[in-house]
Structure 1
Amino acid sequence: SPEWRFIPESEKEELGLNFDDDGEFWMSFKDFAQHFDRVEICNLNPDSLDPEECPEGCTKKWEMSVFEGEWVRGVTAGGCRNYLESFWRNPQYTITLRDVDEGDDENKCTIIVALMQKNRRSQRHQGLECLTIGFAVYRLPDYGHVPKPLDVNFFKYNASIGRSQAFINLREVSQYRLELAMRHGGAYDGGGPGGYVGGPQSPPTEQSCLEQLLCALCAPICKEIGVDLQQVTQQQGEQVHLTQPQPQELKGQGFSKDVCRSMIAMLDKDGSGGLGFEEFKALWIDLRNWRAVFRLYDTEGRGAIPAHHLRDALHSAGYTVNAHILNVLAH
């Protein structure tokens, strides 16, 4: 605007005025009143206000937690509560409320929950609008005795105690003053820590393991990972002949060298660069169990586990992973 030329430089400096392309702009009050009818003043977080502006004697302070995740189609995108069978697959986060509101006779805390989808607006040029989002809040009175993540049965028999007003295609939905009864317990983020938490159930006997180990299906694996079949049989004090593969074997091209190296690295506890008998036996037991899990969840019979069964398959194999790890595996 040419009127800026009549503003002294000192005033421009005091206003912090510049004409950079930084998203900040100036307009006349007349134009503002003509084109806008509402103003929202936002803070970056609950504590961003100047402490000196707080009333005298104010001791209240907000605690803020931020959880980042994503929805992956078929894995952790479970839809709203109307889709009960898949709703439990949504990312889950747990918070623990400890400080009761001052003067609250019902032993309750006040919280604000907000759900935001980031970077979606930048994809509008690709024809992608905001997703329809929403959230629900559930009480966990007995935190130590519920599955993590909460499974479909939990949501069948437990109603939410708070939720967003609607599932809607906005960048952010929030709910203020969700007053929840205080509880104590641990914090749980999206499915628990990643890692191995269980072992194979009902492992085969050593004899049956040997029979499997020395069958024709196993011979190529032994060759790749450096297991001496003769040494193994002598160690067991018996001579076992190679037999035909067991029926109903999974069809495939066998293990690649890279996969074999990975298996060695996983079980080579003594750092020898190869697998001894006990190490190889442990590997073979794992392979048998993983194969059984694979067959169980290859529901379409096409030699692959559908993405929506990935978490169940991992859990059956003795692994618990959080939502982030699950999404990485799905990708």
Structure 2
Amino acid sequence: AASLLGAPIGHDLCIISLSDLMTPWERIEKRIRAAAIGDFVTAVYNPKSEGRYWQLYRLKELFLEERSPGTPVGYVRQAGREEQVVNLTTLAEFDPEQVDMFTVILIGNSQSYEAGGKFITPRGYYGEIKMKTDVGIGQDIMIRSFRTIEKELKDKEMPLDKKWALLHAIHTTADFDMENILRIDDHAVASLYEKFNRGEVRTIITDVTMAASGIRKGALQRMGIEVKCYLQDERTIQLATEKGITRTQAGIRLAVQEHPGALYAFGNAPTALIELCDLIRKGKATPAGIIAAPVGFVHVQESKHMVKPFVSIPKLIIEGRKGGSNLAATLVNAILCYNDAEQLKPGRDV
């Protein structure tokens, strides 16, 4: 069954029987917990019998306490026989009713993922054996990091697009408080990705050059997107002087004149975000989306609150004082590579 699914054989593999009538259930449950906590790829044979029909449901509950709902689960009925049937699903979607005594089940660990209809678990340990995958070293490290972060998230049931953005934010900051302060509108990441993918949006505006520099060039080239920051534009400097406003405010005024429907990303300047809000209310700007992540102590929290009433605009907001250009950029990157989220395979453009 393992070879049919593509899972590892003889490597960190735990084998459990659920229908051993000679073993008390309490002891079997302890073994299940140990396998789940120990992050073993787990094979379950004799998963059901006439008298033990509920134990597989309990096993699923126990594994969901320790594993991501997206963990691959494969099961093979009548392995090696003419009636053989191979199925691949996730831990959350796995239905014990599809299983009988002639089925072997494999549950992945935190490193497992599905690719090409196969259940893949990389072998070896970081620093000892290089993963034999189709990715480079940088992407390999990023994939491992994301899977480590995912295990430590409190909310295991959040929508995929929210989780994808959150994983990027935590990976960039090593700050798990992001789970509490990153506010994302429903479907914001997925809908913004589709707008870029369909060519409806071709421009990203940032408040400062540092945020622009953190957006991955490979993703921009791949999708035909332009990033613009007006901070160094001579017109910005002149306008700021004439109007007595900050350069970032002036830059947003110019940006809105030329790209009113762009994605706007703020990682530094609350005055620029406030300016955009004012222009939206006046009907001069219709952003495709807003990333509100300015950092600091003056007008920062207020600027983020000002964005929230625009319910028709997809928004990603870092609540409170935290934020930064690195966060604004990584949230843009999460949007641009959202099509890699299902396989939890970040870093394509690293």
Calculate the TM-score normalised by the size of structure 2: 0.25
* Greater fraction of residues in helix: 2
The structure showing larger relative contact order (alpha-carbon pairs under 8 Å, at least 6 residues apart) is 1
Calculate the TM-score normalised by the size of structure 1: 0.26
Q: Which has the larger radius of gyration?
A: 1
